[in-house]
Structure 1
Amino acid sequence: MSKPNYRDIAKLAGVGTATVERVLNGRGGVRPDLVEKVVVAARTLNYPRTLPDTHRGLLRIDVLMVRPETTFYRRLSQAFQRIAETLDPLVVVQRSFAEEMKPEEIARRILSSEVPRAGLILAVPNSPLISAAVEAVVARGVPVVHVVTRASETFGEFVGIDNHAAGRTAALFIARMACRSGPVVALCHPIYQVHRDRISGFSAYFREYPGERRFEWLGFTRDEELYGAEALRSALEVYPDMAGLYNAGGANAALIDVLRRHPRGKEIFFVGHELTDYTRNALSDGIMDVVLDQAPEAQARRALDIVLRRIRLTEMEPDRAPIRFITVTAQSL
């Protein structure tokens, strides 16, 4: 095949050949959106020239997350950073955080147009304001990818585990492996659709397979240590013969601490999410029995792959299957 020329690039980018010449020779005077189109077209056609330094970092992918104090979101942020360092210098991955319980702020950050974006990756909760902001950004033609949880049920692509299946898996472990009969308790943070999906799968399993252990009570924790600990202490008072505990969200450290102090803490079959220093130690000590880790590193890789494909910097279509969650026990540490 012949090497691509200015005319080929201009046709693919939808601009004139004079614009292509100015961009590729670094002459300036071209609008940023047209520069982006030319550079992407040149990359797509494997144009055999190094881009001028003025065009490095031209394509910005924004990643907006919440709760930087949690181990999970730190892992997710670090994964985006590590992957970004391996990408073409043309691409900049900009990570930032917003306050989880301030949908107005999250929506404002999503709608921001101060710096042109090639793509937007979101790991934020859902609300009408946030969903409307996502719809507006998609309408502008910006690729949007949701990671971990969906900020909009309708707009943007989703990368994450099968959370309904994760809830059913937790129920299966408790139903089959708890050492005693008795009630089962679950905890979650209901502002996240993924937590609701996990609880849906968890409760569905116990409806389908009734037995000696029954799903009796659901508590709300806000994924905060104080609320999580109080919810679990209340449940232990109401259900002194508790057989199993499933935490569909975060704040595992507080739950682990409550169970460590409780005389029957090690008798309760405890399934939670995310492998951290706290959960790893709790598995080793017998306080936790199973951890379902949703592999944030794999989610970051898939999300960036999708954006890069949508802006035509890669040719291969990313896998569409859910990310596989990892089952961890004391024996597999």
Structure 2
Amino acid sequence: MSKPTFADIARRAGVGTATVERVLNGRGGVRPETVEKVVAAARTLDYPRRLPDAHRGIIRIEVILVRPDSTFFSRLSRAFERIAATLDRTIAVHRTFLDEGDAQAVARRIREPGARRGGLILAVPDHPSICAALAEVEAQGLPTVQIVTRIAGSKADYVGIDNYAAGRMAAHLMRGMQQRPGSIAALCHSQIYQVHRDRIRGFSDYLAEHPREDLTFTELLFGHDDGRRSADLLDETLRRRPDLVGFYNAGGGNGSLNQLLRRHPRSRDIFFVGHELTERSTAALREGTMDVVLDQAPEAQARRSIDLVLARLGLHDLPIENPPIRFVTFTAENL
């Protein structure tokens, strides 16, 4: 193939040829973030000439996550780590974990990253202060992507499953597969995540649209993805509702819930649907304490979010389509 021209690099970086000439010939006078885009574009196109040391820029993509203790977010973090290892050396992926309960700290990090960045990927709660901070950096032109969760009013691309559809699927399977009559309870983190609100809304809507006279959705519980708290809520509900036959967990904490059900005399009566296929939920499916797991493929979400940022920076060859990530339904029969 022929050597890429300044015009080729300019098109890839989204700048003019004069800017490319200044960067590659070390003339200076170009903003650092623009230098990074030009250098990355040149390397992506295999531009053969050695670049001046002063312009060996790194494009830094920051990923803001919460709950490093949760299986899902640790799985998502590892996916970003593996993807980062495959990228050009001019692109760095930095993962930051913050307290999901401290919205002000998350907002500060969005506004003040401490280092120049070329893109931002985040999975954080839907909170007014976080929304305001995100709107500020979006107005400055920073490429942003929301992964897993969605903040209302943001212009960022959203990468994730159709959570409303996931909730409907949970209800569809419970209504069709649980033959016992009785009541149903659902559990989610709280009201701070739009995705959980969507799942519960889908679950409730489906049952309302397809009623079964002998099966009733009776209550919603908030466990904040805390295993002990969630298990205590389920235990109390089992005591209070001897007719409980269905349980949908729209959030985390499946491990503690399964520990409770393993020793509970009514565990085989409860049709349990949860999210995220992990070693623990796989074991629970095999043992029969869980009946269905809906997995949202965090590895696919991480790959898509990186690709979207790179496309916004002009560093991806093809436009990136962004339909909802397909979730996978698992039972004991297809592990």
- TM-score, normalised with respect to structure 1: 0.92
Q: Which residue of 2 aligns with 1:322?
A: 324
Q: Which residue of 2 aligns with 1:214?
A: 216
> Alpha carbons of 1:50 and 1:209: their partners in 2 closer, same or farther (altered >3 Å)?
farther
Equivalenced residue count is: 332
Shift of 1:5: 3.9
Q: Secondary structure at the match of 2:151?
A: coil
1:58 aligns to 2:58 (yes or no): yes
Q: Secondary structure at the match of 1:87?
A: coil
Alpha-carbon distance in structure 2 between the residues aligned to 1:42 and 1:320: 26
Deviates more, 1:282-291 or 1:252-261: 252-261
> Alpha carbons of 1:248 and 1:62: their partners in 2 closer, same or farther (altered >3 Å)?
same
> Alpha carbons of 1:281 and 1:14: their partners in 2 closer, same or farther (altered >3 Å)?
closer
1:262 aligns to 2:264 (yes or no): yes
Q: Which residue of 1 aligns with 2:203?
A: 202
1:235 aligns to 2:237 (yes or no): yes
Asked if structure 1 preserves the Cα contact closer than 8 Å seen for 2:169 and 2:203, the reply is yes
C-alpha RMSD over aligned residues: 2.3
Shift of 1:257: 1.5
- 1:205 alignment partner AA: Y
Asked if structure 2 preserves the Cα contact closer than 8 Å seen for 1:246 and 1:271, the reply is yes
Q: Which residue of 2 aligns with 1:145?
A: 145
Shift of 1:57: 5.8
Shift of 1:103: 0.1
Could you list the runs of 5+ residues in structure 2 that have no partner in the other structure? none
Asked if structure 2 preserves the Cα contact closer than 8 Å seen for 1:179 and 1:243, the reply is no
Deviates more, 1:321-330 or 1:144-153: 144-153
Shift of 1:51: 4.6
Shift of 1:200: 0.3
Render the CA deviation track for 1:210-243: whole Å, top value 9, x for unaligned. 1121111111111101220121112112211111
Alpha-carbon distance in structure 2 between the residues aligned to 1:100 and 1:54: 39
Alpha-carbon distance in structure 2 between the residues aligned to 1:246 and 1:194: 15
Q: Which residue of 1 aligns with 2:274?
A: 272
Shift of 1:250: 0.3
Q: Secondary structure at the match of 2:322?
A: coil
User: Runs of 4 or more off by more than 6 Å in structure 1?
Assistant: none
Render the CA deviation track for 1:11-61: whole Å, top value 9, x for unaligned. 8764674x6445325576754133124325545776454555665561110
> Alpha carbons of 1:325 and 1:14: their partners in 2 closer, same or farther (altered >3 Å)?
closer
Shift of 1:191: 1.3
1:35 aligns to 2:31 (yes or no): no
Asked if structure 2 preserves the Cα contact closer than 8 Å seen for 1:9 and 1:41, the reply is yes
Q: Which residue of 1 aligns with 2:292?
A: 290
Asked if structure 2 preserves the Cα contact closer than 8 Å seen for 1:13 and 1:41, the reply is no
Q: Which residue of 1 aligns with 2:314?
A: 312
Render the CA deviation track for 1:151-196: whole Å, top value 9, x for unaligned. 3433211000000000010001110111311111100112111001
Asked if structure 2 preserves the Cα contact closer than 8 Å seen for 1:295 and 1:325, the reply is yes
Deviates more, 1:86-95 or 1:233-242: 233-242
Asked if structure 2 preserves the Cα contact closer than 8 Å seen for 1:123 and 1:151, the reply is no
- 2:186 alignment partner AA: A
Q: Secondary structure at the match of 1:35?
A: helix
Alpha-carbon distance in structure 2 between the residues aligned to 1:69 and 1:56: 36
| Aligned 1:238-257 pairs, distance under 5 A | 238-257=240-259
- TM-score, normalised with respect to structure 2: 0.92
Asked if structure 2 preserves the Cα contact closer than 8 Å seen for 1:130 and 1:152, the reply is no
- 1:270 alignment partner AA: F
Asked if structure 2 preserves the Cα contact closer than 8 Å seen for 1:65 and 1:98, the reply is yes
Asked if structure 2 preserves the Cα contact closer than 8 Å seen for 1:60 and 1:93, the reply is yes
Alpha-carbon distance in structure 2 between the residues aligned to 1:159 and 1:331: 29
Q: Secondary structure at the match of 2:244?
A: coil
Q: Secondary structure at the match of 1:283?
A: helix
> Alpha carbons of 1:52 and 1:78: their partners in 2 closer, same or farther (altered >3 Å)?
farther
Alpha-carbon distance in structure 2 between the residues aligned to 1:57 and 1:329: 48
Alpha-carbon distance in structure 1 between the residues aligned to 2:7 and 2:250: 55
> Alpha carbons of 1:21 and 1:176: their partners in 2 closer, same or farther (altered >3 Å)?
same
Shift of 1:146: 0.3
Could you list the runs of 5+ residues in structure 1 that have no partner in the other structure? none
> Alpha carbons of 1:10 and 1:149: their partners in 2 closer, same or farther (altered >3 Å)?
closer
